[in-house]
Structure 1
């Protein structure tokens, strides 16, 4: 069985019940999540050997975060313990024309204080086939970016496939800084995942005749974006998720994949959203699984999009779906009828 390692931050998520606003809430529901951890959970649910690496404090909240992964079968044995705290993010769910809102309280988190040398990558990558990280992790600080570079170099030394979801976050760093840091890391990446805006915000590569605010997405423009990304960095594959936001509750969801020879566009799903956080991560997890499982480029894309479509119906960051459920949807059964 292929083994996958993901590396990043695991955060405590605090959210008001239902659609209450922060200012209305007197209780918050606590769950855990984070870009790379979400990918590891998806892969574990698909039956893969998935490990997540991070740094968490040696206290009960750190242990609760670890336990949230262990319950899904994620290998947590390489998590480093130490540092002062678990990062927190607060989520207020949007509805109709009111967008969701996220407030971060992650400064000084254990992973944000991690240093090169904290992680024994030679041991972590023993027997590993695939390594995944996102652009969120190096954005936590120059020291964490150095940890990512250290990991990428170690992965390449062992001929491990490396994937990265660009995941640009304007609240963490500027486009200029992101371009500099991610440009260096991309030298080691084989599979690049992005959304409609990432390539533009990080590398200045914009899809022509596209306006994500109004929902105007141009397929030819995204073919050009994928081609330019591959030309600049030599990726073996480029995947771009395509979201059309009708409202906070309803989106259209699709994606494209360029494998160096052909451009594939998935079917489009009309999604009524229960929880959209982790949607992109579930796409990444689905794509990694499908490629490792030997699916064709087209079938891998359809699996990843279907997996992500289902995630939008699930509370929390983690995508709690099975291979069978994803393949049923990818095969055309999206009726949502009761299964008996």
Structure 2
């Protein structure tokens, strides 16, 4: 049940604590990125996982690779070369002040990668699942072509393909996203997203929903999933339901639409430590649940619980075990000391 992910891993630089960029005289450095976070989460769950990318052939590129290898992610298909590793700066929000992200990823190695950097039949040998996000094709036209080639190859070889839409307004326009993603998702079996992704990428808006006020309408999300399924023939559509109370406190749940039926998870009220990677941890949890044969409701609950825990962990990655997720699923969210 090996899983392959493809995308960009970046250096994340963040002021300490809740400091603002303009205050910072030092930054904490970690590595992360959508598909890399998914691979790492799956490796922590005991699933064989490989991350495919391109990083510069220098010590920073090697450090990014090492950040995945130390947790058991297969990095043997990461190509070396190009000018630089992408960077992003993350400022934590608090209370009514939102978090902010600034990208510095132009001309990164993956943005200039070429077809010959990746042998997809070799990469997919022995794998059953392939995961990508809408971030990768947004990086550059070359990355967009590689993303399309990757899903075509995965589908031709019989893998289940999942895609987290992950619309990023700082990377491309709504028009470009719709054009590119409409072609890419033709090869996708499991579509993952949130209310903004569906609206910005495909123009499908959840009815009677206002995420800024925390008002979510279940019927509206069912309608979104039905429209996505009708448009693209997805086998499953998963939508995360985040009700923002403040930068520190969110309601967190999700819906899974499959075979004409909508399933909803329990809701968690989360006091957030670090929300970056929350969607990636949900995707990894859902993949884990489905690939290990859990009933769909259980797979959904596993995904939401694992993502709930990620919000309590510093950095991009979800450093939790299957046992910890199942404890929360079982109703123990007390946070009492485990001795």
TM-score by length of 2: 0.99
Which residue pairs with 2:260 in the alignment? 261
Q: Report if the CA contact (8 A) 1:276-1:312 is conserved.
A: yes
Partner SS state of residue 253, structure 1: strand
Q: Report if the CA contact (8 A) 1:111-1:144 is conserved.
A: yes
Q: Structure 1 CA distance, aligned partners of 2:320 and 2:11?
A: 22
Partner SS state of residue 186, structure 1: helix
Q: Structure 1 CA distance, aligned partners of 2:228 and 2:11?
A: 34
Which residue pairs with 1:46 in the alignment? 45
Partner SS state of residue 336, structure 1: coil
Which residue pairs with 1:32 in the alignment? 31
Return the offset for 1:113: 0.8
Matches within 5 A, 1:86-235: 86-235=85-234
Partner SS state of residue 295, structure 1: coil
Number of matched pairs: 339
Return the offset for 1:91: 0.7
Return the offset for 1:261: 3.0
Return the offset for 1:23: 1.1
Q: Report if the CA contact (8 A) 1:165-1:193 is conserved.
A: yes
Which segment drifts farther, 51-60 or 110-119?
A: 110-119
Structure 2 gaps of 5+ residues are: none
Q: Structure 1 CA distance, aligned partners of 2:65 and 2:134?
A: 22
Return the offset for 1:205: 0.7
Q: Structure 2 CA distance, aligned partners of 1:322 and 1:225?
A: 32
List structure 1 segments (4+ residues) > 2 angstroms apart after TM superposition. none
Which residue pairs with 1:68 in the alignment? 67
Which residue pairs with 1:286 in the alignment? 285
Return the offset for 1:227: 0.6
Q: Structure 2 CA distance, aligned partners of 1:329 and 1:31?
A: 27
Matches within 5 A, 1:240-319: 240-319=239-318
Return the offset for 1:294: 0.3
Deviations 1:229-272 (A, max 9, x none): 01110110000000011111100000000012311010000000
Q: Structure 2 CA distance, aligned partners of 1:208 and 1:248?
A: 24
Partner SS state of residue 177, structure 1: helix
Partner SS state of residue 282, structure 2: helix
Partner SS state of residue 32, structure 1: strand
Q: Report if the CA contact (8 A) 1:230-1:260 is conserved.
A: no
Note the aligned Cα RMSD (angstroms).
Answer: 0.6
TM-score by length of 1: 0.99
Q: Structure 2 CA distance, aligned partners of 1:24 and 1:206?
A: 38
Partner SS state of residue 219, structure 2: helix
Return the offset for 1:116: 2.3
Partner SS state of residue 23, structure 1: helix
